[in-house]
Structures are given as C-alpha cells and as structure tokens.
C-alpha cells in the first residue's frame, strides 16, 4: 500500500514533469502544497470522480490558479475523466489542461482561476449558496444540502484587494462551511515577500471574524488532518488554516526560492528531485499501488449512493420541496409557465405606459418576477435604495439564512466575484447591483463571468451624465462600450418600462452566460408601440418610429436618448424629412439576428444615419458608417444637474437636427 509520502510525491512528479514538457508553468505551488492536498482529498473531500456534478459534493477551489498542475494531478489520480495523455498536453491548444484552470474545459474544475484572489471570492459565493440553499430546503433529520467549500490560496491572493472584500463579508455572514488554506511559503514572483507583504495574516482574519489555525506544518499530514478536523468542528465561522510550506518542496536546489515559482525546473534538477523524493519512476509514470491508493471512484460512488438514499427519504417526507429542489438544483429549469407570465408582464407594462426612470421600471419588474422565481437571489453593493433592487419579499441572508438578498456592502469587485461563485454552485439566479461607473471596480469578475459562460445578472443604474451633480467621477462614458465589447456578455440599455421588462426576461432566460442591465436615474417617457413592435424588442433593435416609406434618415438610440430621438424625428418630419427611429436596447442581441431582419431595421441603402447615446461616440461607427454621425460623448462629464448637462453636451433636438443636416 502506498504511503502518504508516495501519494503526495505523485502530485509533485506529475507537476514537475508536465511543466517541463510544456516548457512553461508553475511547479512551485503544486510541489509545496502536495501534502496538504493529499490529506484533504484523500481523507476529507466528499466527491465522486465518476460524477463531477454530484449536487452535494464538497467544492474545491484552487485560488492560486497558476499552480494548475496541482488540481490536474489530483483529478487524474483520484479517477476523474482526465487521462494521462491530457497531462502530457499541459498548456497546449484545446487540451483539458490549460495553463490556468478553466471552468468547462476539465471535469472537476469548479471555477476558472488565474487572476489572483478571484478564486477565494468564488469560494465565498459557493459557501453562501450552500448555507442559503440548506436553510431553504433542509428540514429536521433531512440535511440534503450539507457540504463544505475548501479553498487553496497563496500570498498573491491575499495581497489582492478582492480577498479583503470577500473574506470580510464571509466572516460577517458566519460561513461555517468555508475552509481556506493559506500556502504560507514567503515567495512570490519577485522573490521573498518580506519587502512587500508583511501583514499579520492570522490577526487580519481574526479581525474578519474567522476561526484561525496558525502555524500548521504544511508538510506534516497529522498536523494538517488535525487542523481540518478542527475547522470542520467550528460551525459558526469560516476557518483559515495557515500552512507553513516550502515552495517547490522536493527540488533540492530550487525549493524555497522564486526560481521554482514560475518556470520549469530543468531536466537536471528534476533528476535530482526524483532522487531526493525517492521517486525512481519515468516521467508521467505512476506505480500501480500509488494509483490504487489515490483512486476515489468506489468511495465516491458510495458517498453519492448514501446521499440519494437520504434524498429519497426527504422526497417521501417533503415531496413538494424535493420536486422544487430537483427543478432548481438538478434540472436547473425555470418554473413552468414563467416565460408566458413574463411575456404577459411585457404587454401589461406597454399598456400602462408609465413615465418613470428605468431603474424604477427595473424594480417594478423584480417585484413582479420575485414571487414567480424563488431562486432569485438579489443584492447590491451598498446602494439598494439607489439601485432599487429590493422588493416587498426581500429578506437579507444576514438575518435569515433562508433569505433571498445579500447586502454586499461597498464591495463591487467582491460582490461580482461572489456572484460568480453562487452561480457556479447552482440553485440560484443571481442579480447584483451598483452604479454603472463602478462596474470599473468589478471589471475583472464581470469578465470572468462571461469567460466562464455562467448566468449572472449585473444591474447597473445611474448610467450616464444624467447622474448629474455627482460629477464625472460618477458619470460613465466608456463603460457601455466596454461591456458591449466583452465576448459572451449581453448588454441591455432599455428606453422605458416595456423594454426593461423584456431585458429582465431575457436575462433570466439566458442561463449559459451573463447579462448586464443598464438603467437610468432620471425619468424616461413611455414610448408608443404596436404589438409587433413590442414583440421585436426581444430582437435587440427594432423600428420604433416608421415613416411608412423608405427613410432618408435613420436615428438610432438607446435608453434615455430614445425619447430625444423620437422628438428629433418629429422636428425633422416637420421640415419634410423622412425619418425612422430605431431603438436598440441590446446591440449584441440585434447583431445576432438574421441578415433579412437587420436589413429591415437598418437598410443598407440608407446611409444617412445618426446614433444618439450619452456614452462614447466611437462604439457606434459600425452602425452609422463613414457617412453617418454620432451625438455622444468624447470627453468626461461635469458636475451639474442632469438636464443642464444634457444641454451642455449637445443632447438636444436642435443639435440632433443640426447633426442630421450636416451629413
């Protein structure tokens, strides 16, 4: 039977061999954390390699994602569908072993990590999801949601600000099933960290309200196991296990230095490491006894079978709850009839035709959808009263773990990273809000959501210079273009209440990718539409005002500027100009339509086009062409009432007409 040391050395050998074959990568962290991983995965982790999607599995997050060979080694050794040939293809095109772990590429990888700190924020989200889902579904004697989230992280993760945002909230929420392991090796890319990272990490996490286990020997399996047992016994707060390790452990000449952090060890040093570790096996060769000692398929099958028996008993006692759990968590399906109910709300909004801010229209939509969607889990970064994300059924999870709203505090980046973790866990449809401008703070997490192809609904209010008196620091200019140019992100900027309902409906039904919903602070006029026009909103762009013949001019607008476009069209029509107005609440959705539909909205023969949007002008070139023009922003804003700013920056009928006449 293979020893613990042999099992850990298998990780080390695979890691240094794969990095060497790829001629790039990070062997130091996998070699240094191998002993911790061996204890956690061998003795504690509840999972089933034959079914990576087992719903009650423990979640494992490698936040220091550059050490990706650690998780690839673990997955391969424990029996996941990751053959040795894939480890030999580490960092190669379309392999299942990319340079950093990527969700969707490799069975068993729970999240994409690489940007340091992202993983730990995801882990916090997963722990929130577990706790809230458990509170919503578990009943006395029936703990069908009962699993831990384990997170490995390094010095770099702790230096990133997002770790503070996420871990501070984790302590406040008392996430007792979150266990983090700090790889305290004192090394980052630039060398020994004493010159730039000297804070008292245990004290820091104690101040967050975490249980801290300090000075654990990360190469002592008994000490590691004792620490994990202690962590699991503390149920009212998350635990940080501080593990003293040697980076690149096993490399006789490069361990303990940055030389092994981010570069292959080299053939000579690998040969020396094999001798040091007493690992006399060829590259990528795992002895049968070591492989057998690692194989977790039989144990995993037993774990899952035990859970299914528990769930059957639960279903017998609580059939309605079991059916709802299956819908939300297993099938990931929307409630029956949701789309029809949502469609009805679209036409009701049109009939009502309220002149309200789109942020208020958004809140009204949440109020209508909330009772239909018990899986909705909302939140805001300390701006609930401005973002208007609360509805009558909102209950904060800080007061009631079975609630449906997260008060994230002033943590835009942390909120977005946590949302990613909640979505990855499953069982919820997330929405989280801040001012549009402060998407900038959250940018990387928003991008990661799109990169992973996971559902999140990012709600951004106060979308333009209409923000007014708060000035240019709070007035977004280039952010809309940024979101629109993000692959796999759908962005909506509705013109009124009807378009707002459509935007929300689309976002909820878009289960394989995120959506950004961009709303105004200021009131907006309701637009008149036929039923056919209402139906076309879902296509992202449509003719809102039709002159009834081939137009001479097309005005294209979004959001708060649609009203201006309509008024400008009236002024032009009074001068005998044939004008169509196109409302384009979602450019990416419009771009996805077939050629015939796009031609019907923007006929190629009509080259006299003006786009109107209180955002950066450059985005609109692809719609207006060289012969067209844009009424937009090419500078930052100013501090003044929103109406004054619209006049100052040329968002007036007179200027639009002048722009058209200049073409």
Residues that are catalytic? 412
Find out whether 508 and 499 touch, Cβ atoms under 8 Å. no
**How far, in Å, CA of 537 to CA of 347, rounded?**
11
C-alpha to C-alpha distance for 107 and 235, rounded to whole angstroms: 29
Beta strand 376-380 pairing with 515-518: unpaired
Please tell me the number of Cα atoms within 13 Å of 381 on its side-chain side: 26
Identify the three-state secondary structure at position 501: helix
Residue 572, number of CB atoms within 10 A of its CB: 21
DSSP letter for 330, please: I
**C-alpha–C-alpha distance, residues 563 and 528, integer Å:** 11
Full strand arrangement of the beta sheet holding 211-217: 59-62, 149-154, 178-184, 239-244, 211-217
Identify the DSSP state of 259: G
Centre a 10 Å sphere on the Cβ of residue 655 and count the other Cβ atoms it contains: 16
DSSP string covering 39-72: HIIIII----TT-TT-TTPPEEEESSGGGHHHHH
- Residue ranges with strand state E in 381-510: 405-407, 429-435, 457-461, 490-492
What is the rounded (10 degree) CA torsion for 53, 56, 60, 61? 80
CA distance 517 to 433: 9
Separation between Cα atoms, residue 265 and residue 17, nearest integer Å: 9
Closest CA to 566 of 538, 597, 544, 593: 544
Estimate to the nearest angstrom the gap between the alpha carbon of 267 and the chain centroid: 39
Bridge partners of 556, per DSSP, are 582, 611
Are 550 and 525 in contact by the 8 Å Cβ rule? The answer is: no
């Amino acid at each position: 039977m293979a020893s613990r040391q042999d099992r850990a050395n298998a990780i080390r050998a695979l890691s240094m061999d794969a990095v060497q074959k790829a001629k790039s990568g990070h062997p130091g962290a996998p070699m240094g954390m191998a002993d911790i991983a061996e204890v956690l995965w061998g003795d504690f982790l509840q999972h089933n390699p034959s079914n990576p999607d087992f719903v009650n599995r423990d979640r494992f997050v490698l936040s220091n994602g550059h050490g990706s060979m650690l998780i690839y080694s673990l997955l391969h050794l424990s029996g996941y569908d990751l053959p040795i040939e894939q480890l030999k293809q580490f960092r190669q095109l379309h392999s299942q072993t990319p340079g950093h772990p990527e969700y969707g590429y490799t069975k068993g990888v729970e999240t994409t990590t690489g940007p340091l700190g992202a993983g730990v924020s995801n882990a916090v989200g997963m722990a929130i999801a577990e706790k809230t889902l458990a509170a919503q579904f578990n009943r006395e004697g029936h703990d069908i949601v009962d699993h831990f989230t384990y997170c490995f992280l390094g010095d770099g993760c702790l230096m990133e600000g997002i770790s503070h945002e996420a871990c501070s909230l984790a302590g406040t929420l008392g996430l007792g099933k979150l266990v983090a392991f700090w790889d305290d090796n004192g090394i980052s890319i630039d060398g020994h960290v004493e010159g730039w990272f000297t804070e008292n990490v245990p004290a820091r996490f104690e101040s967050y309200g975490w249980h801290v286990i300090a000075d654990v020997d990360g190469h002592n399996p008994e000490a590691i196991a004792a620490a994990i047992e202690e962590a699991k016994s503390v149920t009212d707060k998350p635990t940080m296990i501080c593990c003293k390790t040697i980076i690149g452990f096993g490399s006789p000449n490069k361990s303990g230095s940055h030389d092994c952090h981010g570069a292959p060890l080299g053939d000579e040093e690998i040969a020396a490491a094999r001798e040091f570790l007493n690992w006399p096996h060829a590259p990528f060769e795992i002895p049968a006894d070591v492989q057998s000692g690692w194989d977790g398929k039989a144990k995993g099958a037993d774990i899952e079978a035990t859970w299914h028996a528990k769930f059957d008993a639960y279903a017998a006692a609580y059939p309605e709850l079991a059916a709802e759990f299956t819908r939300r968590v297993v099938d990931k399906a929307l409630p029956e009839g949701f789309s029809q109910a949502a469609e009805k709300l679209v036409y009701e909004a049109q009939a009502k035709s309220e002149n309200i801010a789109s942020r208020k229209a958004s809140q009204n939509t949440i109020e209508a959808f909330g009772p239909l969607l018990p899986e909705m889990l909302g939140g805001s970064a300390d701006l609930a009263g401005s973002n208007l994300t609360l509805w009558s059924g909102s209950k904060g999870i800080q007061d009631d773990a079975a609630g449906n709203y997260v008060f994230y505090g002033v943590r835009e980046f942390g909120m977005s990273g946590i949302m990613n973790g909640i979505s990855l866990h499953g069982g919820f449809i997330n929405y989280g809000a801040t001012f549009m401008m402060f998407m900038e703070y959250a940018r990387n997490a928003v991008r990661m959501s799109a990169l992973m192809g996971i559902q999140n609904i990012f709600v951004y209010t106060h979308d333009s210079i209409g923000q007014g008196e708060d000035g240019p620091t709070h007035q977004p200019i280039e952010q809309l273009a940024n979101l629109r140019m993000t692959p796999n992100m759908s962005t909506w900027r509705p013109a009124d209440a009807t378009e707002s309902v459509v935007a929300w409906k689309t976002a909820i039904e878009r289960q394989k990718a995120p959506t950004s919903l961009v709303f105004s602070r200021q009131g907006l006029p309701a637009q008149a539409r036929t039923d056919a026009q209402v139906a076309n909103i879902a296509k992202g762009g449509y003719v809102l005002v039709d002159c009834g013949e081939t137009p001479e001019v097309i005005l294209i607008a979004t959001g708060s500027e649609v009203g201006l476009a309509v008024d400008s069209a009236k002024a032009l029509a009074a001068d005998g100009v044939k004008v169509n107005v196109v409302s384009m609440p979602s450019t990416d959705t419009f771009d996805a339509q077939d050629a015939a539909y796009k031609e019907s909205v923007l006929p190629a023969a009509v080259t006299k086009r003006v786009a109107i949007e209180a955002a950066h002008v450059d985005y609109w070139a692809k719609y207006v062409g060289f012969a067209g023009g844009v009424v937009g922003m090419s500078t930052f804003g100013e501090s003044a009432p929103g109406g004054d700013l619209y006049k100052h920056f040329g968002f007036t009928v007179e200027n639009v007409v002048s722009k058209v006449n200049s073409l």
